[in-house]
């Protein structure tokens, strides 16, 4: 089996995080998984949703929005607003992003603030949800570091980074980090969301008009853990190079 881009079965695509892509955001990155590019931006506002006040829920809140820009795919994708409702896939993915980040952010430590996470797909070549979660986690920590630099927080509410990666069965071989041709033709497709220490947050997977064995499931899990380790290392490198005093 030869992958379309020549990678080994356990090899990630080149991954980069370009910081401060959205200068008015508290934290932002342009994350690239190969040709997939997503702008992940975080804005933090004072105040919480009314339901939290009514129910006396302590701490802050985190919510996410996900959108594929019209020119992110080969054929123009109409904006959701032109249809008058959010696309079902976009709704599912933005809920996944929100759940994933709320699993690693201490909302009580955030205080009476609302964190808005926006993920806009600039270019789609497979793995947009995994790139969004991985990039949004970096953008969120950058936003926290800026609040610390301003003296508004003492420590980061980020307990661990959230990391996401795909794995699947392509031409009877288990592979890591599927690009679009692989995702299109895969017989099995999984998405894994974990912490950087491999604690599970969420796992989504199914056969595409096909079945899979227990050994294949375990092999995909092993591949995903390697991918998470690789991604977490690159996330930490990006954060280590980040200057939170910039653009304050």
> What local confidence, expressed as pLDDT, does residue 87 receive?
79
Contact present, 197 and 163 (Cβ < 8 Å)? no
Nearest to 191 by CA among 121, 101, 126: 126
> What local confidence, expressed as pLDDT, does residue 74 receive?
85
Residue 197: CB atoms within 10 Å: 11
At 134 the three-state DSSP class reads helix
> What local confidence, expressed as pLDDT, does residue 226 receive?
98
Contacts with 221 (C-beta within 8 Å, 6 or more apart), sequence order: 167, 192
> What local confidence, expressed as pLDDT, does residue 64 receive?
97
> What local confidence, expressed as pLDDT, does residue 246 receive?
75
**Each residue's pLDDT tens digit in the chain (248 positions)?**
899 999 999 999 999 999 999 999 999 999 999 999 999 999 999 999 999 999 999 999 999 999 999 889 888 988 876 666 677 889 999 999 999 999 999 999 999 999 999 999 999 999 999 999 999 999 999 999 999 999 999 999 999 999 999 999 999 999 999 999 999 999 999 999 999 999 999 999 999 889 999 999 999 999 999 999 999 999 999 999 999 987 65
Contacts with 72 (C-beta within 8 Å, 6 or more apart), sequence order: 121, 122, 123, 124
Contacts with 235 (C-beta within 8 Å, 6 or more apart), sequence order: 17, 134, 137, 138, 161, 163, 196
List domains and CATH numbers for the chain.
15-240 (3.30.230.70)
């Amino acid at each position: 089996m030869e992958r379309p881009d020549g990678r080994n079965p356990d090899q990630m695509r080149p991954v980069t995080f370009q910081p401060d892509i959205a200068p008015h955001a508290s934290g932002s990155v342009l994350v690239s998984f190969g040709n997939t590019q997503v702008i992940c931006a975080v804005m933090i506002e004072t105040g919480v949703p009314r339901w939290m006040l009514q129910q006396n829920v302590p701490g802050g809140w985190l919510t996410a929005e996900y959108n594929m820009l019209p020119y992110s795919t080969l054929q123009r994708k109409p904006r959701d607003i032109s249809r008058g409702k959010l696309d079902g896939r976009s709704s599912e993915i933005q809920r996944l992003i929100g759940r994933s980040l709320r699993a690693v952010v201490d909302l009580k430590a955030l205080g009476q603030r609302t964190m808005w996470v926006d993920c806009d797909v600039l270019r789609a070549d497979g793995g947009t949800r995994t790139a969004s979660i991985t990039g949004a986690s970096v953008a969120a920590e950058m936003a926290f570091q800026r609040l610390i630099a301003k003296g508004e927080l003492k420590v980061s509410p980020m307990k661990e980074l959230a990391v996401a990666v795909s794995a699947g069965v392509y031409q009877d071989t288990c592979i890591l980090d599927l690009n679009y041709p692989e995702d299109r033709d895969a017989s099995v497709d999984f998405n894994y969301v974990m912490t950087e220490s491999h604690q599970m947050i969420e796992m989504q997977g199914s056969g595409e008009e096909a079945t899979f064995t227990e050994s294949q499931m375990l092999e995909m899990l092993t591949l995903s853990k390697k991918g998470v380790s690789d991604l977490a290392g690159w996330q930490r490198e990006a954060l280590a190079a980040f200057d939170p005093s910039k653009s304050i």
